[in-house]
Amino acid sequence: MPTFTINGESRQFDGDGDMPLLWYLRDELGLTGTKFGCGAGVCGACTAHIDGEAVRACVTPVSAAEGKKVTTIEGLHPQGDHAVQKAWRELSVPQCGFCQAGQIMQAASLLTKNPSPSDEEITAEMAGNICRCGCYERIHSAVRLAAGGV
């Protein structure tokens, strides 16, 4: 039975360890900020963190979280005041908003690993997250702004 921490709370999972983490987060725990997009790990809408690393929850089995810390958009900051979330609000990044939790989680992971990324590094790290509205320029600007506040 996998045991792990989700957003600071210890959890045990007694189901099929091959079940995608996304469905456990959404259906079992009600953490619906992590979105289902493509189901193949290529759009980034389902991005969460395992031990601080961005993962695609739609293709990551629950068993991969065994003994680790999982963070969703709901757990990034209790009041939504992580530097990335503040930058997103300040620059009014979202248009439709569907991809934004995944975008924010990807950016937060980047800035944890590299607090002062170059423009090229931001572009490369964020490339796996698709925004169908085309907010890429605002997303990039918000990551740059957050880099000053992480």
| Per-residue CA distances from 75 to 1, 38, 124, 125 (Å) | 23, 23, 25, 21
**DSSP SS3 for 3:** strand
Residues 17, 48 within the same domain = yes
How confident is the prediction for the chain on average, in pLDDT? 96
pLDDT tens digits for 87-128?
A: 999 999 999 999 999 999 999 999 999 999 999 999 999 999
Do 67 and 93 share a structural domain? no
Looking at 46, 76, 106, which one is the last position of a domain?
A: 76
Q: Which residues pair with 5 in a beta bridge?
A: 10, 69
> ∠ CA(13), CA(33), CA(43), 5° rounding?
95
CB 35 within 8 A of CB 99: yes
Predicted confidence band of residue 65 (pLDDT cuts 50, 70, 90): very high
| Percentage of the chain modeled with pLDDT above 70 | 99
pLDDT of residue 9 exceeding 70: yes
Measure the N-to-C terminal CA separation of the chain; round to a whole number of Å.
36
Q: Is the pLDDT of residue 67 over 60?
A: yes
- In this predicted structure, the answer to whether residue 150 has a pLDDT above a threshold of 60 is no
pLDDT on residue 149: 59
Are 10 and 69 members of one domain? yes
Q: How far apart are CA 36 and CA 18, in angstroms?
A: 17
- Domain total for the chain? 2
User: Do 111 and 140 reside in the same domain of the chain?
Assistant: yes
Structure pTM?
Answer: 0.95
Parent domain of 65: 3-76
Residue 20: pLDDT above 80? yes
Question: In 10 A of CB 111, how many CB atoms?
Answer: 22
- Reference 64, options 107, 21, 118, 12; nearest CA is 21
